[in-house]
Amino acid sequence: LAIERDVAINAVLRASKICQKVFQNLVTSDTVIKKDRSPVTVADFSAQVVVNKILYESFPNDPIVGEEESGSLRGDNGKELRNKVLSLANTVLDTLLNDNELLDTIDRGSFPGGSSGRIWALDPIDGTMGFLRREQFCIGLALIIDGDVRLGVLGCPNLPVDFKAPEGEKGCLFVAIKGQEETQIRLADISSPSAALFCESVVAEHSSHSDAAKIASFLGITKPPLRMDSMCKYCAVARGDADIYLRLPVRVDYDENIWDHAAGCILIKEAGGIVSDINNKPLDFSLGRTLKTNKEVVVAHSKIHGQVIDVVQRVILKK
């Protein structure tokens, strides 16, 4: 997967440049509200355009499962935002796009997913709320082959290079290929959950803070949680900044999207950790655009994952 690796890194780096530009100059007029009320910025659309275009140029037959679609950019109502997206995307593309090409490129992300063949999963900005708060966000791209995540690239433009120096240099790129050695990072070697630092979403609607606090208490964890948006949580655990990542159910009818977890999942596995749902089942990326048979996510070092799952089930499944 050497070619796929290089293309994915190039796509994520260019999308990261775009996001950094918008991040520095964010204004509210660049935001629209999707039906689910989550904000989408001009950067989300531009990043999806850039990644989809670069993937299409190298792998024209590979379908893409991307988060965004072009509806709010079409027609007279979408003209102002469309022009911003077009201008921004063209600053990092080698071949300039016109209006129609822009819309078609965004909508290459509409593939329904599935269990066979090669599929790219893209979150052009994971953690849009963190982006709008000028905190943590991530560009996540994964290659799934026959339902198995084989490659993940995560661009984290605002993540400190050294977690202990939060005001120092920022901007990290994480790359994982199944079974292949990169510059190795490892989860922190931990033998007891009580010593762990766990991370969770900033927004309580994304993951239950109260359940996480109960689980931490049962595990004997005394450190306050590390709260951050996006798949940066996977990255933090993978390089040892935190030890456990809990994404706990807040709605029984909510299905996780594959683009929110695919790249992070392979990163954790290659760094020595385990990713499962709260029933201790592996995440299944072969069922379409969502993880419809999985119930939320538990990430931890292989040495303590079983203990964490036991407590999670005691708190969540026995309510």
With contact defined as beta carbons under 8 Å apart, do 261 and 268 qualify? Answer: no
Strands (E), the chain: 31-33, 39-41, 64-66, 118-126, 138-145, 148-160, 170-177, 198-200, 226-227, 244-247, 273-276, 297-301
| Candidates 41, 105, 128, 290; catalytic one | 128
With contact defined as beta carbons under 8 Å apart, do 220 and 194 qualify? Answer: yes
| Candidates 44, 211, 241, 243; catalytic one | 44
Q: Does 44 participate in catalysis according to the annotation?
A: yes
Q: Identify the residue whose tokens are 């299905």.
A: 255
Cα separation, 91 vs 177, whole angstroms: 29
Q: Does 99 participate in catalysis according to the annotation?
A: no
- Is the C-alpha dihedral spanning 142, 153, 192, 194 positive or negative? negative
Q: Which tokens in the block code for residue 173?
A: 């790129």
Of 193, 219, 176, residue with least CA distance to 303: 193
Which residues are part of the catalytic machinery? 44, 128
